[in-house]
Structure 1
Amino acid sequence: MRTTIKDIAAACHVSAGTVDRALNNRPGISEKTRKKVLDAAAEMNYQPDFTARSLVMGRTLTLGVVLFDLYNRSFAQLMNAIEKRARELGYFVYITLTDKNAQNERTCIDYLINRKVDGIILFSVNKGKEFETYLNKLHTPVVTIFNYISSDLEYIGIQERQAMKDAVDYVASKRYSRFIYVSPPLAYSGKSNIYTQEERFQGFLEGIQGHKAADPLVLKGADYLEKLMAYPFNKAEKTAVVCSTDLYALEVMNTLKGIGIAIPGEAGVMGFDDIDMLKYISPRLTTVKYPIVQIGEKAVESLVHKIEQGAFKSVPLLGHEIIKGESI
């Protein structure tokens, strides 16, 4: 038979209110009494009734997360950060994956709403006024990350454009005279929400213009590696391959090694994200450190603040850093 707060109260000869304060670490009781109640709860194998608790509180103590997938290591790092911070704040997490499909995304959001999550962290592939209206009609707090949707929706991210411009500035300082930009998602520009990719591309172009470099080769779409292999690399003119994520940069490095192009002698490679697996890669990828863990933590904190206090916890755009590796 399930142990209740009343059972613990009877065993400790205290009121149910005292037991509640002890179990939820609230003030109003002595440390001696708190310890007595907690010891009794552990001995009696007390498990909180979350259903009853949610009815009393008007909350389910759950958060929903909508991501593209977990193939990109940075998304896995993000999810770990979200789950850990949510647990610290007393919330459990539902994770849903959209595979970058707009309709799947709506299905995922509806699934979370039907399970009465208290709030949603959204990495969206959708955009536009109609989608914004849809989100607002949910009457459930939403924090958007990475892909910006609207100034009316809470957003947590970085200055994507400036971060990529800083990356180009760093590459140019190493005397690379030719540039290739790799961003397969740019093939979906105008069709899906690829805000982060578009901002990074604009930052790249601004950086190129600032250094009066020759017109770059821009590789977008699924066949970017085939096009890369056809490029005329030579030692006389050092070429920098700037990639919009580390995932693409690692594919580029593997491909260049396969066709005998020396890194960084003939071709330098620049990434973006600083995923944790880079410590296993040689040469060590030069990249932009994206505050992925901090974004996850801040998203949870802002969302929980909205749920419990009625307003989002404002988070300014976070910082970035150039990680100087060996590939540039």
Structure 2
Amino acid sequence: MPVKIKDIARICGVSAGTVDRAINNRPGINENTKKRILKVAKELNYRPNYTAQSLVKGKTSTLGVILFDLHNRSFAQLMNAIELKARENGYFVYITLTDKDPNNEKQCIEYLVERNVDGIILFSVNRGNEFEDYLKSFDIPIITVFNKISENWDYVGIRERQAMKDAVTHLVNKGYERFIYVSPPLMYMGKTNIYTQEERLYGFIEGLKSFNIQEEPIIIKEKNYIDILKEWNFQSEYKTAVVCSCDLYALEVLQLLKEKGVNVPGNVGVMGFDNIDVLKYVTPRLTTVEYPIEQIGSDAVESLISKIEHDHFLNIPLLDYKIILGESI
């Protein structure tokens, strides 16, 4: 039989309320009494009944997280930051993965709601009025990251469009005249929520329009972008930059250029976006836009907990970004 609070109270000769205060480190208890209770609880191998506590408190001290997958290193970094900040605040985390499937995402949401999580951090592939009504039906705090749903939902992120415009400005100032843009998620444009990728594309296009670039940019949306680039002639009179909407694509492009014997950045420059932590192992070091992954995760948790415990999200402005200068440009 599991040990209960009333068992510890009987042995220590105190009330169940006194045992509860000792175990949960609440005020209003003599220090010697507290030590004696904790000693008995440890000897009896007492384990709190979190289900019973959740019924009393009306919360489970758990958060749900919905991500695409963990293949992209930036998602893993985000998850680490979320888990660390949640644990600091006394919360545990459920993680669910959608594989970018809108129906899977709804299943993940319902799975987390059924387990009575206190709030959800959502990286969505759904959007639109119908989806927003669906989310509202659960009456649970939800904060969004990466893919914005609408102004109706609290969001933690950066100025994606401006960040890419600044990246283009950097490239033009370095003398690049021809541009290739690589972003396979754009194949889902108009089908699912790809807010971050759309904003980066618009920033790229708007950035080029600010300058008198002679050649139209090449925009590659296909999943087999490497096969497409294999056929590309990089020996051009124009100084060419391959701009990638995330570092993962940029690393694949760098590998291809090495295999083709293309000099980087002599013949062609490569730029990424995210500044994932493995870049320190890559040669030449990738020039990229730093996406504050850890801060996004930490801020999302703090804001969500504020909503859970104080009934209001934190006012978090869009976070800073910066261009990280490497050797690929």
Question: Scaled by the length of structure 2, what TM-score is found?
Answer: 0.94
- Aligned to 1:179, the other structure's residue is in SS state strand
Tell me if 1:280 matches 2:281: yes
Tell me, in whole angstroms, the C-alpha distance in 2 between the residues paired with 1:303 and 1:47: 28
Tell me, in whole angstroms, the C-alpha distance in 2 between the residues paired with 1:25 and 1:170: 54
Tell me, in whole angstroms, the C-alpha distance in 2 between the residues paired with 1:140 and 1:49: 23
Corresponding residue for residue 263 of structure 1: 264
Amino acid at match of 1:269: V
Tell me, in whole angstroms, the C-alpha distance in 2 between the residues paired with 1:286 and 1:36: 59
Tell me, in whole angstroms, the C-alpha distance in 2 between the residues paired with 1:14 and 1:285: 64
Residue-by-residue CA offset, 1:56-95 (whole Å, 9 max, x unaligned): 0111222111111111111111111112222222222111
Tell me, in whole angstroms, the C-alpha distance in 2 between the residues paired with 1:289 and 1:203: 15
- Aligned to 1:237, the other structure's residue is in SS state coil
Corresponding residue for residue 187 of structure 2: 187
Whether the aligned pair in 2 keeps the contact of 1:23 and 1:38 (CA below 8 Å) is yes
Amino acid at match of 2:135: L
Tell me, in whole angstroms, the C-alpha distance in 2 between the residues paired with 1:275 and 1:216: 26
Tell me if 1:66 matches 2:69: no
Question: Structure 1 residue 13: deviation in Å?
Answer: 4.5
Tell me, in whole angstroms, the C-alpha distance in 1 between the residues paired with 2:324 and 2:38: 47
Residue-by-residue CA offset, 1:16-63 (whole Å, 9 max, x unaligned): 333322322323345555444444433332211101100101112221
Q: Which ranges in structure 1 are unaligned for 5 or more consecutive residues?
A: none
Corresponding residue for residue 297 of structure 2: 296
Quick one: structure 1 residues 5 and 231, their matched pair in 2 at CA, closer, same or farther if it must change by over 3 Å?
A: same
Tell me if 1:91 matches 2:91: yes
Amino acid at match of 2:196: T
Tell me, in whole angstroms, the C-alpha distance in 2 between the residues paired with 1:207 and 1:35: 65
Amino acid at match of 2:173: S
Amino acid at match of 2:226: L
Whether the aligned pair in 2 keeps the contact of 1:127 and 1:149 (CA below 8 Å) is yes
Tell me, in whole angstroms, the C-alpha distance in 2 between the residues paired with 1:241 and 1:157: 25
Q: Which ranges in structure 2 are unaligned for 5 or more consecutive residues?
A: none
Whether the aligned pair in 2 keeps the contact of 1:235 and 1:265 (CA below 8 Å) is no
- Aligned to 2:109, the other structure's residue is in SS state helix
Tell me, in whole angstroms, the C-alpha distance in 1 between the residues paired with 2:162 and 2:296: 17
Tell me, in whole angstroms, the C-alpha distance in 1 between the residues paired with 2:33 and 2:262: 71
Tell me if 1:252 matches 2:243: no
- Aligned to 1:63, the other structure's residue is in SS state strand
Question: Scaled by the length of structure 1, what TM-score is found?
Answer: 0.94
With 116-125 and 205-214 compared, the bigger mean Cα shift is at 205-214
- Aligned to 1:322, the other structure's residue is in SS state strand
Corresponding residue for residue 166 of structure 1: 166
Amino acid at match of 1:105: E
- Identity across the alignment (%): 62
Tell me, in whole angstroms, the C-alpha distance in 2 between the residues paired with 1:31 and 1:287: 55
Residue-by-residue CA offset, 1:67-126 (whole Å, 9 max, x unaligned): 111111111111111122222222221111111111111111112122222211111111
Amino acid at match of 1:154: D
Tell me, in whole angstroms, the C-alpha distance in 1 between the residues paired with 2:40 and 2:9: 9
Question: Structure 1 residue 14: deviation in Å?
Answer: 4.1
Pairing of 1:1-328 with structure 2 (within 5 A): 1-29=1-29, 31-214=31-214, 215-234=216-235, 236-328=237-329
Tell me, in whole angstroms, the C-alpha distance in 2 between the residues paired with 1:36 and 1:312: 40
Question: Structure 1 residue 241: deviation in Å?
Answer: 0.8
